[in-house]
Amino acid sequence: MDFISILSIFVLACFVGYYVVWSVTPALHTPLMAVTNAISSVIIVGALIAAAAADVPGAKWLGLLGIVLASVNIFGGFAVTARMLAMYKKKERK
């Protein structure tokens, strides 16, 4: 992809982010931080590419370490978000 197409996606995504995040209810700001944490670990894609390529051992090891770190975040982030969200209950009394 050329730089301008990538930049277009980025700029538009910033706008999407702006509106989507403003619509998040303040009560869920902590889960918002936890889940953004988890999804920003999509950086694992880069680590996977590095770890999958075999020609430069140094890059491969960095990649594998990156995978471990990003996985901690992905699984930890989604799990802790799920745990928090499960606690938000409606009134169940009469």
Does the protein bind other proteins through residue 94 (CB under 8 A)?
Answer: no
Does the protein bind other proteins through residue 4 (CB under 8 A)?
Answer: no
Does the protein bind other proteins through residue 1 (CB under 8 A)?
Answer: yes
Site string for other proteins, 28-47 (x = CB under 8 A): xxxxxxxxxxxxxxxxxxxx
Does the protein bind other proteins through residue 27 (CB under 8 A)?
Answer: yes
Those residues whose C-beta lies under 8 Å from the C-beta of residue 94, and which sit 6 or more positions away, are: none
Site string for other proteins, 44-63 (x = CB under 8 A): xxxxxxxxxxxxxxxxx-xx
Dihedrals phi, psi of 25, to nearest 5 degrees:
-70, 135
**Total length of the chain:** 94
Shortest reach from residue 19's CB to other proteins, in Å: 9
Greatest CA span in the chain, whole angstroms?
Answer: 66
Shortest reach from residue 8's CB to other proteins, in Å: 10
Shortest reach from residue 25's CB to other proteins, in Å: 6
CA pair distance 78, 76, nearest whole angstrom: 6
Contact 33, 42 (CB under 8 A): no
